[in-house]
Amino acid sequence: MQVSPRKVVHIHYTLTSDDGDILDSSRGQGPLAYIHGMGNIIPGLENALTGRSVGDKFTVSIPPEEAYGLRDDDLVQSVPKTAFEEGQEILPGMQFHAQSPEGLQLLTVIGVDDDEVILDGNHPMAGLTLNFEVEITGIRDATPEELDHGHVHGPGGHHHS
């Protein structure tokens, strides 16, 4: 069986920066499970997995345009401290979710002064080339329920309570 749309794919991966720093890894945990062709993972990695089989091991570099996009300076903005709850300590590196015209957006605090908080709406990995070392550990047909919900159920996937 090959990786193709509507298949549940299980992978082990290690993600590194161009500097060789490990940014994320499934090693030491269960493999990541996703439904191929449903936009559950970044496009460049999904494209690199297409047509491969269980047991395949490979490395791939994904440019920002096929990952989390290029950095957009327009997504950096200053907001008054009064926009936050009174007494709430705001520190660089903190993250908040805010509603935007495109839906829920993750904002990272990159600076704080006496009156303002500087927020960055770019994904933390925007602008980075992402280097993956991947091993395909399983492929199966997605169930009708998984396809309806848009994500994998059970081990390596989503668990409904």
Q: 48-86: per-residue pLDDT in tens?
A: 999 999 999 999 999 999 999 999 999 999 999 988 888
Q: What is the C-alpha to C-alpha distance for residues 55 and 12, in angstroms, rounded to an integer?
A: 11
- For residue 161, what pLDDT is reported? 43
User: How confident is the model over 139-159, as a mean pLDDT?
Assistant: 84
Domains of the chain: 7-68+126-149 (3.10.50.40), 73-120 (2.40.10.330)
Nearest Cα neighbor of 12 from 45, 61, 44 is 45
- For residue 139, what pLDDT is reported? 97
The per-residue pLDDT of the chain, averaged, comes to 92
Q: Can you give the three-state secondary structure of the chain, one letter per residue?
A: CECCCCEEEEEEEEEECCCCCEEEECCCCCCEEEECCCCCCCHHHHHHHCCCECCCEEEEEECHHHCCCCCCHHHEEEEEHHHCCCCCCCCCCCEEEEEECCEEEEEEEEEECCCEEEEECCCCCCCCCEEEEEEEEEEEECCHHHHHHCCCECCCCECCC
Q: How would residue 155 be classed by pLDDT, with cut points 50, 70 and 90?
A: low
Q: Over the stretch 99-148, which tens digit does the pLDDT of each residue have?
A: 888 788 889 999 999 899 999 999 989 999 999 999 999 999 999 999 99
Q: What is the C-alpha to C-alpha distance for residues 74 and 90, in angstroms, rounded to an integer?
A: 22
Q: How would residue 157 be classed by pLDDT, with cut points 50, 70 and 90?
A: low
Q: Can you give the three-state secondary structure of 66-78, one letter per residue?
A: HCCCCCCHHHEEE
Q: What is the C-alpha to C-alpha distance for residues 60 and 133, in angstroms, rounded to an integer?
A: 7
Is the entire prediction scored with pTM above 0.85? no
